[in-house]
Amino acid sequence: MSDATPSSAAPRLSAGPPDSSLAFEALLARISRRFITLPLGEFGPAIVRTLGEIGRFMQADRCFVFLPTEDRAVHYVAHMWTARQIADDPIVVGTVVREAFPWVHAGMCRHEDIVVPRVDDLPPEARRELEYCRQTGIQSFLMCPMYSAEAVVGNLGLDAIRARRDWSDTDRRRLRLFGEVVAAEICRFTAVGPPQLPGTTG
């Protein structure tokens, strides 16, 4: 696991979203049902809608998916949702992760959870990530691999901008479970054709 641990107290959301297992399970089920009869042409907008639901439930300001190319040589930003109150991200759909975020990319290649409660505690090798976070106001971020049938399909992540987050074990577990649902649908739809990439804010 890549981890940047906070070293001092600061205003933050310390416990993540309210502890509501029923609401979490209901959202998982709703996301799964959404894709059952979804036409291929509506896949991209449905994914962004799903990321919005995940982001709002997890009390995050941005939710995104990184996917590899077919030969797995390069990961790119595939889908992104940003809360309406948040300024547009200079990183756009199609950005190559290795070039923009080399430290994050290294953790992704090791299939690690990337847990950053406080961006100022990022290691020196994450200089590019720290510059980006300071530029965009990101205070905390969390990323987990997305698995389908024990294979890593990509990564699902959250940014916290309006308040810092101490990511709990529950946050990580829930994000991984959300990732399994998203990964299953990505695999199903990419098996019949490439999804169309949509807009990014909602």
Per-domain residue ranges for the chain? 2-6+16-190
On the CB side of 5, how many CA atoms lie within 13 Å of its CA? Answer: 2
The reported pLDDT for the residue numbered 3 is 66
**Architecture in CATH for domain 2-6+16-190:** 2-Layer Sandwich (3.30)
pLDDT in tens, 8-52: 333 344 334 455 789 999 999 999 888 888 777 788 888 999 999
Structure tokens that stand for 201 in this block: 């804010």
CB contact at 8 A, 144 and 176: yes
Contact 100, 76 (CB under 8 A): no
pLDDT of residue 89: 86
56 Cβ contact partners less than 8 Å away, ≥ 6 residues apart: 83
Tell me the two tokens of residue 142: 């969390």
Digit-coded pLDDT (tens) for 51-99? 999 999 999 999 999 999 888 888 999 999 999 999 988 888 999 999 9
- The confidence score (pLDDT) of residue 196 equals 41
State the maximum Cα–Cα separation within the chain, in Å, rounded to a whole number. Answer: 49
pLDDT band at 122 (very low <50, low <70, confident <90, very high): very high
CA distance 40 to 93: 19
- Rounded mean pLDDT of the chain? 85
The pTM (predicted TM-score) of the whole model is: 0.84
> Worst-scoring range by mean pLDDT, 48-52, 109-113, 138-142, 187-191?
187-191
